Amino acid sequence: MAAPSGIRAVLFDRDGTLVVDVPYNGDPARAEPMPGAVEAVRRARAAGLAIGVVSNQSGVARGLLTLAQVEAVNARVDEIIGPFDVWAYCPHEEADGCACRKPAPGLVLRACAALGVTPHETVVIGDIAADLGAARRAGARGVLVPTPATRPREIQDAETVAVGILAAVDLVVDARERETREVLR
């Protein structure tokens, strides 16, 4: 990862990045942290970064989840991994053509506004191309953390790939520290 300018925030994808992906999960008891997620969020927060979550939740539009269920799972993720400074989720499905469903930039832009940072000061960490596409379209940087759901082409096309969520946060924190040292010279 090239040394980004002024990193102030990290936005994480929820399913497959922070927690094990349980399709259309509406049960908080099924929220299980991905390996390294708790430590990664702790490290990002200790580095002084604002942290948030950006997540597509199309199960709402499909009638498989309620907004209350999504929020209950989000609250559980806050308990076991967070707390997070901001949550932004899209309840639409692809056919709705909204501006928030990743890879559209709306969730990233909304989270950045809530955190008081610009997209240029933000890194998005996710497990599929839609996460990186949302980052790119918003003007943020992206780090791909491949999982079994990640297609080989998504890995090839990603500018920055990390072997896990903790490694992704380490890349961001290390780049931020390098930048700070350069400014102090």
Which residues are known catalytic residues?
13, 15
- C-beta atoms surrounding 156 within 10 Å: 8
The upper half-sphere exposure of residue 80, i.e. CA atoms within 13 Å in the direction of its Cβ, equals 19
Please spell the DSSP secondary structure of the chain, one letter per residue.
----SS--EEEE-TBTTTB---TT---GGG--BPTTHHHHHHHHHHTT-EEEEEEE-TTTTTTS--HHHHHHHHHHHHHHT---SEEEEE---GGG--SSSTTSSHHHHHHHHHHT--GGGEEEEESSHHHHHHHHHHT-EEEE---TTS-HHHHHH-S-B-SSHHHHHHHHHHHHHHHHHHHH-
